[in-house]
Amino acid sequence: MAKIIHLVITLFFLTTFVFGGAIPDDMKAFAKTLRDICIAESGTMKEYIEKASKGEFTNDEKLKCYFKCLFEKLDLITEAGELDYEKMMDFAPKFLKQSAMKMIENCRSTTGTDLCDTAFKVNKCFQKTDPTTYFVI
């Protein structure tokens, strides 16, 4: 399962950044499914997700837990309940490794009051570090 997720994420990055956003339908479907699952689990509003994609992070507990859900579904949380930055680096395609490394180096010490808050703050930090590469599923 993790290999499938890795492949989908890599292809998503590749098509988004190399081919100017021409994302194949199967990857759009995967991203939509993941988004829908995490919206249902967290109860956040789509509007907040769209704003976050543009760098406007609404301080909302449900949005915070949406980010945690994404990390969980992408298997980026360790058994100890911490974000798995090494796995994030493994998932990053080669052409984004430098950007991913910069985001992780700048943000890995970011913590919150709980895992939802940490996921939210890390995403804010990622966006601030590299707004041209950052996006929200």
Q: For each of the chain's 137 residues, which pLDDT tens digit applies?
A: 555 555 455 544 443 443 344 556 777 788 899 999 999 999 999 999 999 999 999 999 999 999 999 999 999 999 999 999 999 988 887 888 899 899 999 999 999 999 999 999 999 999 999 998 888 88
CA 76 to chain centre: 9
- Kindly give the residue spans of alpha helices, DSSP state H, lying in the chain: 2-17, 25-42, 46-53, 61-73, 85-91, 97-107, 115-129
Which CATH superfamily, name and number, covers 2-129?
Answer: Pheromone/general odorant binding protein domain (1.10.238.20)
- Note the pLDDT of residue 55: 94
- Note the pLDDT of residue 18: 39
DSSP, collapsed to helix, strand or coil, labels residue 34 as: helix
